[in-house]
């Protein structure tokens, strides 16, 4: 059994909500009749997409062709989705397993409340990467996310898991973070680690706008850095601005304004 290729029939128009269009549904048959929502209308999947067999077994390949696709991979538990282009909001939200590869950019709330699996975005992710969905107190709680750049509030209320950003992130990265790891290869905006309780944020350089409430704990040799480097290099996600070897980092501890014991680790080349 092969995978399935979905090519959007029309560019533009209202966003298409692909909730429930997942690789684990391919074995059920009847995929063409799956209901999806576009704007205020509920229509069959094959009315909006051309469907054909293709790709490895258990793989769903999406070709947006200029259409905006929301909720791609939301709630996915197994299999693989490849987006050959950009997609909209909520990509990989609530993922529990499997892999989602986006070859372009994605919108807001990617990997929101993610619990497992792997999300890779070749381009930029919008605001609230790995954060809570609207009205929820819990952010990302498992899995791995690799993106080129990210907007504001990446990793907000994060509880577990890994977010690795090759380039810049916006403001309030790691705000109210509870646990987990965030890697930032470029610049970080204001509010970095604000109100974080625990967890680690790895940086290539000192924050341009330091957040009050962090105390300088001096330089340390941290063995876990070698393990993280090895894993991220194997995944092709170790930022180019990070040192290629060594386990030394300057440790900033906080946010002390909330009694936090999180850490900002500025990696050193020495």
Q: Using an 8 Å Cβ cutoff, are 39 and 93 in contact?
A: no
CA 217, 177, 93, 142 torsion: positive or negative? positive
Angle at 70 between CA 64 and CA 71, to 5 degrees: 120
CA 44, 49, 53, 55 torsion: positive or negative? negative
Residue 41 lies in a domain: yes
Residues 113 and 211 both lie in one domain? no
121 beta partners:
102, 147
Residues 179 and 267 both lie in one domain? yes
Question: What pLDDT sits at residue 16?
Answer: 98
Range of the domain at 270: 166-270
Residue 145 lies in a domain: no
Cis status, amide bond into 255, omega within 30 of 0: yes
Residues 227 and 268 both lie in one domain? yes
Low-confidence ranges of the chain (pLDDT < 50): none
Domains in the chain, number: 2
pLDDT tens by residue, 31-74: 889 999 999 999 999 999 999 999 898 899 999 999 999 999 99
Residues 1 and 127 both lie in one domain? yes
Residues 111 and 170 both lie in one domain? no
Residues 101 and 189 both lie in one domain? no
Question: What pLDDT sits at residue 55?
Answer: 87
Residue 112 lies in a domain: yes
Q: Show which of 98, 114, 136 is a domain's final residue.
A: 136
Question: What pLDDT sits at residue 214?
Answer: 97
Residues 233 and 112 both lie in one domain? no
Question: What pLDDT sits at residue 1?
Answer: 63
Residue 99 lies in a domain: yes
Residues 81 and 185 both lie in one domain? no
Residue 153 lies in a domain: no
Residue 152 lies in a domain: no
Residues 97 and 181 both lie in one domain? no
Residues 13 and 131 both lie in one domain? yes
Residues 121 and 179 both lie in one domain? no
Question: What pLDDT sits at residue 25?
Answer: 84
DSSP helix/strand/coil, 17: strand
Residue 130 lies in a domain: yes
């Amino acid at each position: 059994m092969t995978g399935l290729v979905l090519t959007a029939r029309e560019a533009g128009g209202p966003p298409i909500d692909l909730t429930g269009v997942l690789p684990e549904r391919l074995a059920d048959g009847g995929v063409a009749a799956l209901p999806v929502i576009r704007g205020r209308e509920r229509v069959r999947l094959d009315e909006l997409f051309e469907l054909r067999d293709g790709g490895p077994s258990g793989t769903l390949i999406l070709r947006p062709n200029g259409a905006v696709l929301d909720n791609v991979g939301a709630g996915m538990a197994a299999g693989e989705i490849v987006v050959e282009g950009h997609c909209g909001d909520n990509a990989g939200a609530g993922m529990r397993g499997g892999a989602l590869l986006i070859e372009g950019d994605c919108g807001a709330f990617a990997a929101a409340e993610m619990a497992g699996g792997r999300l890779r975005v070749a381009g930029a992710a919008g605001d609230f990467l790995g954060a809570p969905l609207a009205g929820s107190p819990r952010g990302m709680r498992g899995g791995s996310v690799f993106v080129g750049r990210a907007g504001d509030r990446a990793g907000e209320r994060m509880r577990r898991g890994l977010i690795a950003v090759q380039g810049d992130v916006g403001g309030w990265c790691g705000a109210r973070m509870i646990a987990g790891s965030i890697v930032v290869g470029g610049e970080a905006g204001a509010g970095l680690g604000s109100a974080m309780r625990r967890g680690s944020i790895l940086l290539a350089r000192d924050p341009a706008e330091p957040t009050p409430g962090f105390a300088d704990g001096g330089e340390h040799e941290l063995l876990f850095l070698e393990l993280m480097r090895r894993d991220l290099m194997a995944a092709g996600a170790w930022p180019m601005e990070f040192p290629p070897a060594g386990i030394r980092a300057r440790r900033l501890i906080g946010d002390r304004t909330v009694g936090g014991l999180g850490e900002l680790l500025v990696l050193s080349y020495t």
